[in-house]
Amino acid sequence: MKSTTIILSITLALLLSFHGIVLLTNENFLQCLSVHSEDTSISEVIYTQDNPLYSSILDFSKQNLLFRAPKYPKPQVIIKPFHVSQIQTVLKCSQKHGLQIRVRSGGHDSEGLSYTSEVPFVMIDLINLSSINVDAEKKTAWVQAGATLGQLYYRIAKKSKILGFPAGVCPTVGVGGHFSGGGYGYVMRKFGLSADQVVDAHLIDVRGRILDRKSMGEDLFWEVEQLALESLLLGK
């Protein structure tokens, strides 16, 4: 009985110690966001676990109810940015305080890859970055990663009755996740994957730089395209 009590005491002490580390990390991370953000409104897009909206935001697009079980770790903080600069700040502070980042675009994620992790992490929810600008004359469109396929199809249909885009059939799938996974759809045999139609992209690298196809270089651009294809073939 004594040995059991000792084990339980040690376990309890370790849990309390870990909890204290997490709280300190969160506090330092939040302070870092406030100090380094050029946008004074960043506090309005931060949701900690004690925020009453935290759970509803986290569960909003969880199609797989398995991941609502308490055993699956939740993000320390959820960020719903309105500006790219806010994402850059999150990247900088996450690196500084050792927090992993998970990114969720505007749609659902049945595998939980965007909102679970085995280590302390921050989730960036891109749902507010969902603008779509369609140029029917040039037959091009700029689409932010937080938009869904349904929103993209709707915007194209509003601009043209003859143009379309090869992608999936589920309207609630996020553009960011769908394209980065290749983009499988019914018209793939004739028009290829969604990723095959991407002619430019804006990426934020690990150093917080915003890169387009020209500034990132052709090697990196096509490497991203190849990774998207490999992700699709591997079933990710």
Let me know whether 136 and 124 are in one domain. no
Say how many C-beta atoms besides its own lie within 10 A of residue 57's C-beta.
Answer: 17
Let me know whether 24 and 46 are in one domain. yes
Non-local CB neighbours of 58 within 8 Å, separated by 6+ positions: 74, 75, 78, 115, 123
Question: For residue 200, what pLDDT is reported?
Answer: 86
Let me know whether 115 and 151 are in one domain. no
State how many domains the chain has: 2
Let me know whether 74 and 40 are in one domain. yes
Name beta bridge partners: 141: 134
Q: Taking CA 23 as the corner, what is the angle to CA 18 and CA 29, rounded to the nearest 5 degrees? A: 125
pLDDT tens-digit profile of 53-93?
999 998 887 777 788 888 888 899 999 999 888 999 999 99
CATH number of the domain that 68 lies in?
A: 3.30.43.10
- Confidence (pTM): 0.80
Let me know whether 117 and 6 are in one domain. yes
pLDDT of residue 151 exceeding 80, the answer is yes
Q: What is the DSSP string of 131-142?
A: -EEEETTTTEEE
Report whether 82 contacts 129 (CB < 8 A). yes
Q: Which of 113, 128, 143 is the last residue of a domain?
A: 128
C-alpha 147/C-alpha 200 separation (Å) is 17
CATH number of the domain that 140 lies in?
A: 3.30.465.10
Q: Which of 128, 160, 194 is the last residue of a domain?
A: 128
Let me know whether 137 and 190 are in one domain. yes
Closest CA to 140 of 81, 80, 197: 197
pLDDT of residue 52 exceeding 90, the answer is yes
pLDDT of residue 7 exceeding 70, the answer is no
pLDDT of residue 173 exceeding 60, the answer is yes
Q: What are 36-45's contacts with CB under 8 Å, separation 24+?
A: 36/89, 36/92, 36/93, 37/85, 37/86, 37/89, 38/85, 38/89, 39/83, 39/85, 39/86, 39/89, 41/82, 42/86, 42/89, 45/79, 45/80, 45/81, 45/82, 45/86, 45/128
pLDDT tens-digit profile of 217-230?
888 877 766 554 44
% residues pLDDT > 90 (the chain): 23
pLDDT of residue 28 exceeding 60, the answer is yes
pLDDT tens-digit profile of 203-216?
888 788 888 888 88
Let me know whether 66 and 156 are in one domain. no
Let me know whether 166 and 187 are in one domain. yes
pLDDT of residue 198 exceeding 60, the answer is yes
C-alpha 60/C-alpha 108 separation (Å) is 8
Report whether 159 contacts 186 (CB < 8 A). no
Question: For residue 77, what pLDDT is reported?
Answer: 92
C-alpha 115/C-alpha 211 separation (Å) is 25
pLDDT of residue 9 exceeding 50, the answer is no
pLDDT of residue 201 exceeding 90, the answer is no
Integer angstrom CA distances of residue 82 from 128, 144, 182, 183, 210: 6, 11, 26, 25, 16
Half-sphere exposure of 191 (CA within 13 A, CB side): 15
C-alpha 125/C-alpha 107 separation (Å) is 10
pLDDT tens-digit profile of 85-134?
899 999 999 888 888 989 888 777 778 788 888 888 999 999 999 999 99
Q: Could you tell me the pLDDT band of residue 235, with boundaries at 50, 70 and 90?
A: very low
Let me know whether 103 and 196 are in one domain. no
C-alpha 79/C-alpha 126 separation (Å) is 8
Let me know whether 138 and 120 are in one domain. no
Question: For residue 225, what pLDDT is reported?
Answer: 61
Let me know whether 115 and 219 are in one domain. no
Average pLDDT, rounded, for the chain: 80
pLDDT tens-digit profile of 122-138?
999 999 999 999 999 99
Mean pLDDT of 135-154: 92
Let me know whether 119 and 143 are in one domain. no
Label the pairing between strands 77-79 and 121-125. Answer: parallel
pLDDT of residue 5 exceeding 80, the answer is no
Q: Which of 128, 162, 182 is the last residue of a domain?
A: 128
Range of the domain at 95: 2-128
